[in-house]
Every structure is written in C-alpha cells, then in structure tokens.
Amino acid sequence: MIDDDELIAAARAAARTSYSPYSGFAVGAALGFADGGIVTGTNIENASYGLALCAETVAVARAMAEGRRGGLLAVAVTGPGEAPLTPCGRCRQVLNELAQLGETDPQILCVGPDEVVRLPLSALLPHAFGPAAMT
C-alpha cells in the first residue's frame, strides 16, 4: 500500500512538468496501485484551448499504455489554488474506467495548500456508468 505522503509528493513533482501556458494552472496527478507502483500525469494544454488534457487523464492514459487494467487504490491531485483540487467531471469518468476494470473504489486525495480532502471515487461519481454496464 502506498503512503499518502509519497503519492502527494509524486503528484506535486508531476505538476512541475505541466505545460499550461494558457491557464497558468499547473496540475499534478499520481495514481497509486496495489503492486506499489505509482504513475503520474500533468496537464498538457494546447493553443486550441479546448483540447487541453487534464493531469488525471494523462496519468490514466500512461498507466493503461503500460498495460495496467486495475489495481487502482488511490489518486492524489494537486493544483496551485487555495482550495483542495477535486478532479473535473471528465477525469472522474476516466478514472472510473480504470477503477471499475479492477473492481476497486480508489481514494481520491484532493490536495490543497493546508488540507487534504479524501473521498472515495464513488462519492465523487455516484451511480457511475462504466465497463460493468457494458456486459
């Protein structure tokens, strides 16, 4: 099981490579897996603003491109704002795909400057549509 502090540190480190010249809002995400692995992502923006990729989505894409199909236990998300950063709606859905594949309900650590709000993904995305509904 991955330590919260380690996961948060990995998310913060990932935010340092953010490509976010348009928003100036650098986000980092770190996915913690049952085998002890951590996969990170950061937001990648585009001159065509609407094409921005969120940190969590980049992390999930990286993990799945490595062959991961489950085992997602925890996710840390960091941003520069005053409040703990809760994943956007699209990212909740993208995280849910990987979570449901492995039948886990990962803890989402929404990291702010002074506090960490910890919520299960099922609380952030109740009654989720996912791969289980396609069978």
Which residues of this protein are in contact with ligand THU, per CB under 6 A?
20, 23, 25, 27, 43, 45, 52, 54-56, 87-88, 91
Cα–Cα distances in Å, from 115 out to 11, 110, 111? 15, 8, 6
Secondary structure letter of residue 38 according to DSSP: E
> Smallest distance, Å, CB 87 to ligand THU?
4
Minimum distance between the CB of residue 71 and ligand THU, rounded to whole angstroms? 22
Taking each helix axis as running N to C, give the angle between helix 55-65 and helix 89-101, from 0 to 180 degrees, rounded to the nearest 10: 20
CB of 100 to ligand THU, least distance (A): 19
Q: Please, are residues 55 and 16 in contact by the beta-carbon 8 Å criterion?
A: no
Amino acid at 73: L
Q: Can 56 be counted among the known catalytic residues?
A: yes
Catalytic hit among 6, 56, 66, 82: 56
Q: Which is nearer to ligand THU, 4 or 25 (CB)?
A: 25
Give catalytic residue positions.
Answer: 56
